[in-house]
């Protein structure tokens, strides 16, 4: 059983390896990757049963790595291990093809339980059932905070906010009143369920949205 663990922190990789061996046995072969590019390179060279990956890699932001990895090895079982809140980011990861989402704050027992369920199709964690449930949902479901929810104008506001511009400056660029710009900002924040530009930036960062407007997919 070949397992690939991807995280840009060595201590995290080692810890995940110990827990993975605890879950699957000492006989499993574990390789490590420090970046998204290294993950894709290793997948092209060797067949893996499962990829354990952080959501944020130095050269990969958001869920892009999930579908890129699955393009290389369609049968790969991808498990995301992240500090990001499960409620906010698990739906998007599962929608993009991950089998399970594990928050790094979970207990060792919970981690090993999820890993075993993914590998052995166990019903304990219902990883695959959760995956199918999310796939059946419309991408515009409010629980999946997707930027595709935004109108063209709201998207323009969001992108300018991510570039560090204020409402007055944005209004001048878009040739609208500051009041109108503020209203559009409020609508965008409501759709994305964020309360501040900091939360907006964090959400964009995890979903691979760049200020220029390109999604890293």
* CA count, 13 A, side-chain hemisphere, 124: 14
Angle, helix 167-174 to helix 152-162, in steps of 10 degrees? 130
Output phi, psi for 54, to 5 deg: -70, 155
94-150 confidence digits (pLDDT tens)? 877 888 899 888 899 999 988 998 888 755 444 444 544 444 444 344 444 567 778
What residues contact residue 152 under an 8 Å CB cut-off, 6+ apart?
none
- What structural domains does the chain harbor? 2-136 (3.40.50.2300), 147-207 (1.10.10.10)
173 vs 200: CA distance, rounded Å: 20
Distance (Å, whole) CA 37 – CA 149: 30
Using N-to-C axis directions, what is the helix angle for 10-24 and 108-120, rounded to 10°?
A: 60
DSSP line for 82-138:
ESS-HHHHHHHHHHTT-SEEEETTS-HHHHHHHHHHHHHT-SSS-HHHHHHHHHHS-
Provide the whole-model pTM: 0.63
Tens of pLDDT along the chain (217 residues) come to: 899 999 999 999 999 999 999 999 999 999 999 998 999 999 999 999 999 999 877 776 667 788 889 999 998 999 999 887 777 678 778 877 888 899 888 899 999 988 998 888 755 444 444 544 444 444 344 444 567 778 888 888 988 888 888 999 999 998 999 999 999 999 999 988 888 888 787 777 666 665 554 444 3
């Amino acid at each position: 059983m070949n397992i690939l663990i991807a995280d840009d922190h060595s201590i995290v990789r080692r810890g995940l390896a110990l827990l993975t061996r605890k879950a699957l046995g000492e006989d499993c072969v574990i390789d490590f990757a420090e970046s998204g590019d290294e993950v894709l390179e290793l997948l092209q060279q060797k067949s893996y049963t499962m990829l354990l990956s952080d959501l944020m890699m130095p050269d990969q932001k958001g869920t892009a790595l999930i579908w890129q990895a699955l393009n290389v090895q369609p049968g790969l079982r991808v498990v995301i291990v992240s500090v990001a809140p499960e409620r906010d980011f698990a739906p998007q990861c599962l929608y993009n093809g991950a089998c399970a989402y594990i928050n790094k704050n979970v207990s060792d027992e919970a981690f090993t339980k999820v890993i075993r369920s993914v590998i052995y199709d166990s019903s304990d964690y219902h990883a695959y059932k959760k995956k199918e449930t999310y796939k059946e949902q419309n991408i515009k479901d409010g629980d999946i905070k997707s930027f595709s929810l935004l109108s063209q104008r709201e998207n323009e506001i969001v992108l300018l906010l991510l570039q560090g511009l204020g409402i007055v400056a944005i209004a001048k660029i878009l040739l609208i009143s500051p009041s109108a710009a503020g209203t559009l900002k409020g609508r965008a924040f409501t759709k994305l369920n964020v309360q501040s530009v900091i939360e907006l930036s964090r959400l964009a960062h995890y979903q691979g949205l760049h200020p220029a407007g390109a999604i890293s997919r």
